[in-house]
Structure 1
Amino acid sequence: MTKAASLTRICVAYLAALAVACAWLAWGWSSSLWLDALVADLLATLVIFGFSRYHHNSSFYDAYWSVVPPLLAGYWWAAGGLGVDDVRAWMVMTVVVVWAVRLTANWVVGWPGLEHEDWRYPMLRERAGRWGLLADLFGIHLFPTIQVFLGMLPVYVAVTRTGRDVGWLDVLALVLGLGAVALELAADTQMRRFVRDRQPGAVMDRGLWGWSRHPNYLGEIGFWFALALFGVATVPADAWWLFVGVLAMLAMFLGASIPMMEERSLERRPSYQDVIDRVPRLVPRPPRRTRA
């Protein structure tokens, strides 16, 4: 199957998911804006899960991570009562849309088509054994959806509530959010060039990757932290819970994504151990020199 045909099937799946979500939002039983959005989000995820199972490829879900946040933010803003002249809402939407377009475009460019499935998915299903179907449903589809929803709750606060006037914290969140997207763009561009030109067994320790082993994940965490700051800027009294999503993201990257990536890198390229010894895992600093 060609890449164009694969992307067409992905688009059909996402349009079907969007239709189900919109149907719920139109006729759902709840009067709570955030709860209606959560149920719609979960129903849409189940649609994508159905397409994943039918095509035997859970990478149908890959773009869901970046496609849904701007839809959630736009729905909340439109239904929440804030006017189109709300400056903070425009700032939040700018960060979310720029991030979503960049990340989705990066996936489209790098994804070869339906003959490819993210290497982590078969591994998770195999490790689950006879519970592989549940691992696919919850671990690959529903759990990430809930994580992203938690990360978006500060956006819900920022685009539905009339809080403090726009101030320095909003500006900081805007700069941090756009800077995080720029960091991810630079890191992914450098990695793509390295993969294109690398020699067998070579490991990436150049540019941003010489200062942090996972600068792309650092940028992703920075984006979600920026969203939390927008929520705090709106209602400072809610700061105690607005970072729940960021903490969930941090736990996922540090507890699962990074260890899995590094385990795989060591299995395929033992010289990666030298990178681990010299380059910090996440927070950037100059790499240590190799001892003679």
Structure 2
Amino acid sequence: MNKTGSIVRVGVAYVLAFGAGGAWLAWGPETASLLLDGLIADVIATLVVFAASRVYKNSSFYDAYWSVLPPLLMIAWWVKLDSGGARAWLVLGVIVFWAVRLTGNWVYAFPGLHHEDWRYPMIRARAGKAEALADLVGIHLFPTLQVFAGMLPVYAVLTHTDRGIGWLDIVAAVVGIGAVVLEFTADLQMYRFVAHRRPGQAMDQGLWSWSRHPNYFGEFTFWLSLGLFGQAAAPHAWWWVLLGALGMYAMFQGASIPMMEQRSLERRPEYQRVIDRVPRFVPRPPRKVNREVSEHIA
């Protein structure tokens, strides 16, 4: 299946998914908690995408959901609450900027439904007979819950409107916009590198010479910026508005990065030199490696 046809099918699945979630919010039984209503609608939409993934035998149907859902969820909450203010507009601007960039990156990089993220078959294979459950929970529902947790500070912004714009909001906006620019730059550098690299060569140029995973750092920083907005709106709620960012950090450090690094070592042995020299996550100047040690490794 070609790229255009694949994207159309994914788009149709998302229209159905968000239609189902929106129907719940509009006509479903109320739970007396808009936060819970939003979560249920999110899960319903995820289940529709999961069904499409199973029909086409490709869990990459879910990949763009990560970036498409947040602005729609914020708008749905905003319409229901009918309150927001200047801070809400600032938050929505940062989220839309991030969503357009990340979704655009998916459209650019997605080759079509003949391709599936390499991690998904691995997760299903490890689950054995429970592969369908692993697909549902590990590949679809878990990241949905992660993103929903990341959206908690947005709910705080929409429900705590008594505080005006302050210095922390400016910091949050700068951090969020900077995170998106960093991710865009890192991805652009990686695409250019892949187009011209020699067999087995490991990326250690540009931002990737200061961090082995600048894209993950940028993604974490974006969710941290939402947490800062939530903190500005509801200082007393610090213990839960930052849960999403902390969850993202734990996921990147405990799962995503180890899987990526193991794969890189298996495919590109010289990646060990990058590990020895380039910081793992937070960008900073690369370490100097003793030449004798480097030659011994080589």
- The normalised TM-score by structure 1 is 0.98
Whole-angstrom CA distance in 2 between matches of 1:250 and 1:229: 15
Which residue is equivalent to 1:145?
144
Matching of residue 70 in structure 1 with residue 74 in structure 2 = no
Aligned positions of 1:172-211 closer than 5 A: 172-211=171-210
Which residue is equivalent to 1:26?
26
Whole-angstrom CA distance in 2 between matches of 1:81 and 1:22: 17
Which residue is equivalent to 1:167?
166
Q: By how many angstroms is 1:14 displaced?
A: 0.3
Q: By how many angstroms is 1:45 displaced?
A: 0.2
Whole-angstrom CA distance in 2 between matches of 1:69 and 1:22: 14
Question: What per-residue deviation string (whole Å, max 9, x for no partner) do you get for residues 184-220 of structure 1?
Answer: 0000000011011111111100000000000000000
Whole-angstrom CA distance in 2 between matches of 1:278 and 1:162: 47
Q: By how many angstroms is 1:272 displaced?
A: 0.2
Which residue is equivalent to 2:131?
132
Aligned positions of 1:91-102 closer than 5 A: 91-102=90-101
Greater shift after overlay, 240-249 or 149-158?
240-249
Aligned positions of 1:1-292 closer than 5 A: 1-29=1-29, 30-82=31-83, 86-292=85-291
Whole-angstrom CA distance in 2 between matches of 1:94 and 1:200: 41
Whole-angstrom CA distance in 2 between matches of 1:20 and 1:66: 18
Contact 1:20–1:44 at 8 Å: present in 2 too?
yes
User: Which amino acid counterpart does residue 23 of structure 1 have in structure 2?
Assistant: A
Question: What per-residue deviation string (whole Å, max 9, x for no partner) do you get for residues 91-118 of structure 1?
Answer: 0001100000000000110010000000
Contact 1:163–1:235 at 8 Å: present in 2 too?
no
Greater shift after overlay, 72-81 or 220-229?
72-81
Whole-angstrom CA distance in 2 between matches of 1:17 and 1:105: 20
Contact 1:21–1:44 at 8 Å: present in 2 too?
yes
- The normalised TM-score by structure 2 is 0.96
How much is the aligned-residue C-alpha RMSD, in angstroms?
A: 0.8
Q: By how many angstroms is 1:130 displaced?
A: 1.3
Whole-angstrom CA distance in 1 between matches of 2:7 and 2:187: 21
Whole-angstrom CA distance in 2 between matches of 1:242 and 1:136: 28
Contact 2:43–2:144 at 8 Å: present in 1 too?
yes
User: Which amino acid counterpart does residue 283 of structure 2 have in structure 1?
Assistant: P
Whole-angstrom CA distance in 2 between matches of 1:163 and 1:154: 15
Whole-angstrom CA distance in 2 between matches of 1:34 and 1:120: 31
Question: What per-residue deviation string (whole Å, max 9, x for no partner) do you get for residues 41-64 of structure 1?
Answer: 000000000000000000000000
Gaps of 5+ in 2: 292-298
Gaps of 5+ in 1: none
Once the two structures are aligned, what percentage of the paired residues are identical? 62
Whole-angstrom CA distance in 1 between matches of 2:44 and 2:135: 16
Question: What per-residue deviation string (whole Å, max 9, x for no partner) do you get for residues 41-89 of structure 1?
Answer: 0000000000000000000000000000000111111211215xx1101
SS of aligned partner of 1:4: helix
Q: By how many angstroms is 1:13 displaced?
A: 0.3
Whole-angstrom CA distance in 2 between matches of 1:212 and 1:282: 5
Whole-angstrom CA distance in 1 between matches of 2:34 and 2:105: 31
Contact 1:17–1:45 at 8 Å: present in 2 too?
yes
Contact 2:124–2:134 at 8 Å: present in 1 too?
yes
Once superposed, which parts of structure 1, at least 4 consecutive aligned residues long, lie more than 4 Å away?
none
Contact 2:152–2:240 at 8 Å: present in 1 too?
no
Whole-angstrom CA distance in 2 between matches of 1:135 and 1:281: 28
Contact 1:6–1:114 at 8 Å: present in 2 too?
yes
SS of aligned partner of 1:290: coil
